[in-house]
Structure 1
């Protein structure tokens, strides 16, 4: 404790560094447990979907495909949830702001001022929308409509809207959103500009955290993405106690409970 207090005296934001690091590893451990306990689907969940491909494979092979496909869908959905719980809050904490839920938000909806809207980060009078990337295809028309009204809601609530997109790959949707933010008196920072903005607002210790645990890993992943036309081979192997995922010549083994009831009871906690 004395050592930590000595470090704090020299670099006050080192406590935020460790807070963010602990939050990151907490979510990593949570997701490791999700992989361990996410149940294999049942026929009642996926059976009717087999009608779409009936006859393409043997009945047993098709059911197996349905099971694996749904299991991957489930663990990816959980990954999205866990990432949402950690990515924006960490970035917000690093730049001295905080994530705000809709119920407590000072940014009100122009369409209904009695309702607030969730904001990734608020710092002073700046309201941030934080994204890893914006792709050509919208995530859904409802969601895309939400994203387009964010700048106007911020402006009408007395806030300056700022859009941070860490992958600066050009896309029509990004251009469209940029125009709306600028029209509403906001700012848009993409790619290295977004990272530079974060680093300019973060202290020295937090800048190190961002570089080591956020920027560098994301950069490496984006640069390592294979061509969608030439993905490595994928195979899956299950035993009573493990699931092994083999990608190319690499493998990861997930230890699993021995009994189905162990999975169900853990998921309820």
Structure 2
């Protein structure tokens, strides 16, 4: 867990991982573990494109907008809404299935 915020649920989950022989890393220990496992090149990527942006977002948590994503069944689109007391932004994103990527067998299994 990259977020170091104390949590009873996180503590319980970490304890359960340890009980079954797993490992759990929290906060800076989790970042260090990721960087050690990633190697030099990937660790640089994680630092530049994951850790720093998350840290930057953390400084703005009071300004973050609420996020809502809804599936609109009538036209198979998604409705994305970002809002707070002062602002409301809504986007409708059409869903366009690429037939070349469709898996007919997988679709039949889930129906």
TM-score by length of 1: 0.26
Cα displacement (A) at 1:268? 3.7
Of 7, 13, 26, the residue aligned with 1:190 is: 26
Taking the aligned partners of 2:63 and 2:41, their CA distance within structure 1 comes to 36
Taking the aligned partners of 2:54 and 2:63, their CA distance within structure 1 comes to 17
Taking the aligned partners of 2:63 and 2:56, their CA distance within structure 1 comes to 15
Give 1 or 2: higher helix fraction. 1
Of 182, 192, 201, the residue aligned with 2:37 is: 201
Of 76, 95, 99, the residue aligned with 1:267 is: 95
Counterpart in the other structure of 1:222: 58
Taking the aligned partners of 2:18 and 2:37, their CA distance within structure 1 comes to 21
Taking the aligned partners of 1:196 and 1:218, their CA distance within structure 2 comes to 15
Matched ranges for 1:173-184 at <5 A: 173-184=9-20
Counterpart in the other structure of 1:97: none
Greater Rg over alpha carbons, structure: 1
Which one has more relative contact order, counting CA pairs under 8 Å at least 6 apart? 1
Counterpart in the other structure of 2:87: 235
Question: SS state of the match for residue 25, structure 2?
Answer: strand
Q: For structure 2, which runs of at least 5 residues remain unmatched after alignment?
A: 65-83, 98-111
Q: Deviations over 1:101-159 (max 9, x none)?
A: xxxxxxxxxxxxxxxxxxxxxxxxxxxxxxxxxxxxxxxxxxxxxxxxxxxxxxxxxxx
Taking the aligned partners of 1:209 and 1:227, their CA distance within structure 2 comes to 27
> Runs (4+) of structure 1 moved beyond 2 Å?
232-236, 266-269
Taking the aligned partners of 1:171 and 1:227, their CA distance within structure 2 comes to 23
Taking the aligned partners of 2:46 and 2:63, their CA distance within structure 1 comes to 28
Counterpart in the other structure of 2:69: none
